[in-house]
Chains A and B, each alone.
Chain A
Amino acid sequence: MGTPPYRIWEIVSRSDIGEFMEEKEFIKKKLIPGVQSAVKKYEIKYDSTFPVNVDDSIADAVWNAAVEAFLSIGVYNKSTHRVIEFTKEELNEAFLSLTGQYIFGAGKDARPFIARKIEDKTPPFMIYSPDITYDENDHFKACVAYLKEPLLDGICAPILENFFGSKISSHSPTELGGSLMHAMNLREAARLVGKPGIHLVAVGTAEADSSQIHVSNPEYGIRPTDSRLVASIAELETNNEMMNKALHYHQYGCYSGNLAGAIYGGYAGGAEGTAVLQTAYHLMGNLLYSCHYEQNFPFHLKYNSNTGREMLWIVSVYSQAIARNTKMPQTSNGFANAGPGTKMLYYETAAHSIASTVSGANLWEIAPAKNKYHNRATPLECRLAAEIGYGTAMSGMTRKEANRIVNVLLEKYEEDIPEAPIGKTFQEMYDVEKAVPQKEALDQYKEVVSELKNMGVPFPY
């Protein structure tokens, strides 16, 4: 089974020989016009009645627009102030060389991670990811609580904010220490719940390249059967630190994903430009970083979320563009507005899971409360996303039916997005000692599942 990288050293060298340009000039002269002209040329139009896109021609237009925009814009390296450019031939070669399937994890816990198709009956690969920081004293138990979840295929863990009682500071020794503590907690928690080989995406505590390199260790840290993320800087930018991470991941021998979130309302403009840009990030991930998969989290500039009507359209349309035109595995990372223990969060989770699954994405769920509040995330909302993801795939749900259900769900929460409730903390929802949900939280979960089933949301059981 072939895997990337694709011509890494030839592409890395372009950071030093590409066209010199100031960043603001890149944004004004290349990025904004590149996206706008592609949207115009391919006549891409957002239709608010279809939060789940049902039209293949729109998905293909977004793909073609993304290719054209990406090739005309390139990627800006902030460290060298140069534009890294690619050719159509390279794009074709890099995408042809993708196998579209990997085995993530090790031993009995290993499982396939694939490029799903639209309305695919194969359930999505399910990565549980709270994407928020937890108290240091509860971090290990939080890892255990997530890893106990039956439908979990991989975990991108709770993040640490403190290390031995000190606030972790970016690019400092506390970050190196905290990153290792994060990795060790994950490994130990995975072993204790009987899933020692489970796929880890780690570690989110490590911002610096040095911290990522620090945790690469098959014995006590992150293994080659795990995966790591390398971010794109908004929009279509990188720097040498990101390039260092990408190179390290390949030479260490682990899997890697390109972490990319096009900003709705930002340089991309509205829904159309954001969908094109999010699609273009897959090209950047494959060609620049040689990533094995794309980790997508387009988000709303004001709300930091992607469960609103226009955001779900963006999620569905770029997922379909990629699923129809490439073999690149993709994950869809939900960012909800409401916090744990609120019905709103469960409705948002259901809508995001359905829109993503039916459009060909794997799931990476879900960051509650606009990804802003310490301790405010639990495994329960991830469980809901997974169950609905399985239900959506196994029931053979069509995009048309998904669109109908998502419209019903949106009616229940979209007006509350600006002032969404922040909900409860992990400690309020869970018996932390035992790493299980409290009865009240579980009762509410069951009540919501029953309500969603009555609305036509599919569950596997």
Chain B
Amino acid sequence: MDTKQILINAMKSGEIEKSIELITKVLGEGVSATEIVNSLTRAIREVGDAFEKFDIFLPQMMMASEAMIEIMKVLEPKIKEESSNSEKRSTKIVMATVKGDIHEIGKDIVILLLRANRFDVLDMGGDADSLEIVKTAEREKANLIGLSALMTTTMLGQKEVIEILKKKGLRDKFKVIIGGAPTSQNWADNIGADGWAGDASNAVRAVENLIKIDKGV
């Protein structure tokens, strides 16, 4: 097994220290940082798929995602050195569980996978005030707002955020994606959200699709 593959396996197992040590070794073997990142990105996608199929569970997915995040901290400066044109995720996402709702596990899983897939995510936590979500997205110059709700009585918070965006003339500045047990594509269409995701893996795909649309790809 080559060293790069050992690094991929270490990341998938969530071995942070071993992964960091192996980066130097793989780079020393002449593999570019960009190539390592591309391989690791494919690998973390496989981890997400394995979690979707329940071949692994949340603790294993968390460990791999956290290892990926730590690895990226080491590799990102090297990627910049390698090429000024290298692909970098420029999307900033503000995520929150909406007002009145304290259920965060679904949102937290989505954030883990988004971060592991190199998105810049600001987590506003649970029970987040609708106006505060809009203000935070504006202040942070976010491109996308992700809203989670677990109850029928809190789904309205998703609608409220979109209404505030419209009232403040900001609707076109942000893509809005929603999710959570009682929500559906119908509900997303109903309230004018740009996307809906039924689970964490689909959330990553939905965000990527929205970015493509945004960039006119």
Contact = CB atoms under 8 A, between A and B. Distances in A.
Interface of A: 28, 32, 36, 78, 133, 159, 161, 167-172, 175, 205, 207-208, 233-234, 239, 263, 265-270, 273, 301-302, 304, 371-372, 374
Given A169-B153, A170-B151, A170-B153, A270 B57 contact: yes
A273 B60 CA distance: 13
Interface of B: 52, 54, 57-60, 62, 99-103, 105, 126, 151-154, 156-157, 181-182, 199
A171 B181 CA distance: 19
11 contacts: A32-B62, A169-B154, A170-B153, A170-B157, A205-B153, A207-B151, A207-B154, A269-B60, A371-B181, A372-B182, A374-B152
Contact of B58 (A208, A265, A372): A265
A208 B54 CA distance: 34
B39 to A, nearest CB: 26
Give the 4 A-B residue pairs with the shortest CB-CB distance, closest first. Answer: A170-B100, A170-B153, A269-B57, A171-B100
Contacts of A374: 152
B182 A170 contact: no
- A contact patch SS: loop
Contacts of B101: 170
A159 B152 CA distance: 10
B105 A263 contact: yes
B103 A302 contact: no
Nearest to B155: A167
B153 A266 contact: no
Nearest to A374: B152
A265 B153 contact: no
Max chain A Cβ within 10 angstroms of own Cβ: one of B57, B126, B154: B57
Contacts of A28: 62
B59 A267 contact: yes
Given A168-B152, A170-B99, 18 more contacts: A28-B62, A167-B156, A168-B153, A169-B154, A170-B153, A170-B154, A171-B99, A171-B100, A207-B151, A208-B100, A233-B103, A266-B57, A266-B58, A267-B59, A269-B57, A273-B57, A371-B181, A374-B152
Nearest to A299: B181
A234 B54 contact: no
B54 A372 contact: no
Contacts of B182: 372
A207 B150 CA distance: 12
Given A171-B100, A372-B181, A267 B152 contact: no
Contacts of B153: 161, 168-170, 175, 205, 207
A161 B152 contact: yes
Contacts of A175: 153
Max chain B Cβ within 10 angstroms of own Cβ: one of A159, A169, A172, A207: A169
A441 B156 CA distance: 34
A278 B62 CA distance: 21
A143 to B, nearest CB: 18
Contacts of B156: 167, 169-170
Contact of A169 (B57, B58, B100, B181): B100
Contacts of B154: 169-170, 207
B61 to A, nearest CB: 10
